[in-house]
Structure 1
């Protein structure tokens, strides 16, 4: 049980980490939101065979996210959306 839990937590962190590497804001927020929603939907699963299938699917999805994030960064235009502005406005 503890091993499965640690695998799931590691997979969750990896999905969030690599989901945040997308260059495009919309893809980035979608990947993170989708990862969180998928884990929340299955958080009470107790059947070991279903858990194993979910972990396998999660690993496959992680490989897709890694690949797509790398491709996304190859074709970035450099322009950021207003919502992505990381510089805080100065207070007067």
Structure 2
């Protein structure tokens, strides 16, 4: 079974990578999905389910990394809400 330390490391990596999205909507959606998925599965005890969820999280991490790179290639202007949050 994967240790809690590995799971926490993956969780933090997912959050860090999600913060890199240049687009506000993608960034917020990704952060919300990561937090919700880990909260939803925090009480799993079955090793098989935990392993499956971890594999899914690693696949999602790779997807997020690719999407961040694509998003940086085609960046747009910041939204009004982003400018308000910085103030």
TM-score by length of 1: 0.87
The Cα of 1:87 is off from its aligned counterpart by 4.4
Q: Number of residues paired by the alignment?
A: 86
- Counterparts of 2:41 and 2:86, CA distance in 1: 37
Residue aligning to 2:47: 48
Residue aligning to 1:81: 79
Which runs of 4 or more aligned residues in structure 1 lie more than 3 Å from their structure 2 counterparts after TM superposition? Answer: none
The Cα of 1:14 is off from its aligned counterpart by 0.7
1:57 counterpart = 2:47: no
Residue aligning to 2:69: 70
Which one has more relative contact order, counting CA pairs under 8 Å at least 6 apart?
2
The Cα of 1:49 is off from its aligned counterpart by 1.2
Distance 1:45 1:87, change over 3 A: closer
Greater per-residue helix proportion: 2
Q: 1:61-91 deviations in whole A, cap 9, x for unaligned?
A: 00000000110011002x1112112542xxx
**In angstroms, what is the RMSD of aligned CA positions?**
1.3
Structure 2, unmatched stretches of 5+, are: none
